[in-house]
Amino acid sequence: MKKVSKRGSDKPRPTAPNNPRVRASAVAGMFYPGERGELQRQVQQFLAEVSVRTPRPKAMIQPHAGYIYSGPVAAAAYSQLQQHAETITRVILLGPDHRVGFRGIAAPSADYFETPLGRIPVDQEALGSLEGVVLFDAAHQQEHSLEVQLPFLQQVLGEFSLVPLVIGSVEPGEVAVVLRQLWGGDETLIVVSSDLSHYHDYQSARRIDAATTRAIEHFDSSIGSNDACGYQGVRGLLQVAAEKGLQEMTLDVRNSGDTAGPRDQVVGYGSYIFY
């Protein structure tokens, strides 16, 4: 790992290199369909099943399991972006580390992230301006918590730039520091990737996830690792969203026993927006 170097704010954004560095899909064909047409159809179907309409989201908390499990829940928030696609040009995407184990918040060196729906340019200028972030490609190479959000974002937004960050072992306040630097205006969407409880029986999971949802609704940063795997990102977002005076809306809370799995050991999912 090494610290991300700062770049002068007066520099123009560099053009794409002749030999771009691409972070290729790691979980296409596993967490979601690997064929472009099938992936588009599945995402469109999830989005079409959402009937609720909300205020314009500034930030959201979204699940990151396989689409057959968490896709219907994630669609509840992503569907709200379709009418704002022309104004949202940058997405700040934060998710927890599941694979490597490291201290800090990791940025990639890639120029693009790729899914079967195409390539998304990485805003390296924004990454280069951040304090409290390290350059660590290993954290991104196999990490699914960011990748599973991308096809939904591509489907609803079309073209946008991406600021992808994997959260290792940090205090939630460190996440808040980074979010304040990146907050921006209407052009910037914040997405925090997190599932809820893991591997409890169905009724126990419902109780735990209901308590976590109440905490999110009250901007209560007491959420811990047993409540949400991405708790550092959730707590960091809650802190900054409260400072900014945002309101929260819970759109959907279910678990794998409600969507596509057995009920003896389930994983919880929630879709929340802040506006």
In this structure, what CATH number is given to the domain that contains residue 223?
3.40.830.10
List, for residues 17-58, the tens digit of each pLDDT value: 679 999 999 999 999 999 999 999 999 999 999 999 999 999
The model's pTM: 0.93
Contact 139, 168 (CB under 8 A): yes
Q: How many domains does the chain have?
A: 1
Structural domain that includes position 151: 37-274
List, for residues 61-90, the tens digit of each pLDDT value: 999 999 999 999 999 999 999 999 999 999
For residue 5, tell me if it sits in a domain: no
For residue 28, tell me if it sits in a domain: no
For residue 27, tell me if it sits in a domain: no
For residue 20, tell me if it sits in a domain: no
For residue 26, tell me if it sits in a domain: no
For residue 52, tell me if it sits in a domain: yes
